[in-house]
Structure 1
Amino acid sequence: GGGPTGVEFAGALAELIRGPLVKNYQALDPREMHILLLEANDRLLASFPERLEKYALRRLAKMGVEVRLQATVSQITPDCIRLKDGATIPLETVIWTSGVRGESFNAELQTIRNGQVKVLPTLQTPDHPEVYVIGDLAFMEEDGRPLPMLAPVATQQGEAAARNIIRQTNGQIPVPFHYHNRGTMVTIGRNAAIAHVWGRAFAGFPAWLLWLSIHLYGLIGFRNRLLVLIKWAWDYLFFERAVSLVVSLPVSQTHSK
């Protein structure tokens, strides 16, 4: 999947391979590891401006990630994937980040695409006004487009639903929900990101610093922000995996057994 999750994961995996993974497991040859990012559409990160998409493509290529657009997966087997055009790609590991499905639940509510429940603008269900549905389970459109299944949407919906429940309790009419898109950001490895916030586009190291700052600001309390900042600084400077596995015994121990 060539959305934000797929791009971030591909970039992080590329950094992991050429960084601490090769350092800890010296028998591995990074030239034998290949990362392939498939996207069914004709654009990567379709929700971002074209300038940011081109930067992401250049950055991924520099990190050794191959990107294939208009590549729709039709079948996944233990040793390969098959594309809609008939092509077959051998592989060892598949990470699926294309498409999200709402969590299933036992309720007498009619679901539509991806297991979602179509809600009214007030986030109520059409047949049960006492029931509110938010987050990944809620299907709602604004300006003719469905709201994305993202945490900021769910957070704002939760606040709006709580206000409407209070209004109902007080005998008032619930008010419609409107999503305020504050922007979207994607990190692409270390020191690089793209950001489309406040109607402006940022790329590279400035966007990466912006990503750090906004995520720190979103934490509650100075102590939490300071601890996370120290942890991030440590990880950035030393760039080591938290857990290493022993995959083979030293020669002396092997012979002794």
Structure 2
Amino acid sequence: MPKSKITQSLLNTSLYKSRNLLKFCYILLACVVISCGNDKKTEATTDSTENHTTETETSEKTSSKTILFFGDSITAGYGLEDTNDAFPGVIQDKIDSLGLNYQVVNSGVSGETSAGGKSRIDWILNRDIDVFVLELGANDGLRGLPITETKANLQAIIDAVRAKNSDIKIVLAGMQMPPNMGAEYTSEFKAIFSDLAEENNIAFIPFILENVGGVKELNQADGIHPIAEGHKILAENVWDVLLPIIKI
């Protein structure tokens, strides 16, 4: 074969191979692009699924009902190493053990009087509440404040809760004063709570410190605030009244 024809043939063969190589590169590039696109779709689907799961979990958490304990140092767990040992925390443990869909909120403030509770109730009611447990008045009694004033403040708190939402279940915790406050005062003070419960037709815990108040080994050195073991008994006193309400 002439040299010119051989050269032309080699050129044609080289060109053919180059075209095939270029075609192969295009095909490979297309495969890579498609693959990346599928990966992105997979990532998007995964993200969507994860977001949906998170939203569902959040929805489940926010759908739980709220029990708010509104009180003083007894509710707050004054003097305890772990405030979760206060009776509201013990109540939460009982709720969780039964699988009930309620979340406890401890809104106790040490030293709180009925007047102090009245002044902060509107702020507390900015959140959704299903059950409202009112435990106030002890500091009024210990300071010898007028009975009429304490009763009026507690009534104002009850009225504010009902004005916010008439469907909120209210539980009133009764309190008693030691005998050294005087027979007349202690008798009238005790009657505040039973009278309010009857007048407002609300659930009533006759004496939240039943079997704890005055029992030296169940209270701290001050003789007023319960230790953790004492709070367990308080929780039982509350639970007897609270359970029928939250199981409805």
Higher share in helix: 2
Bigger Rg, which one = 2
The reply to whether TM is greater than 0.5 is no
Q: State the TM bucket, normalised to the shorter chain.
A: under 0.3
TM norm structure 2:
0.26
Higher share in strand: 1
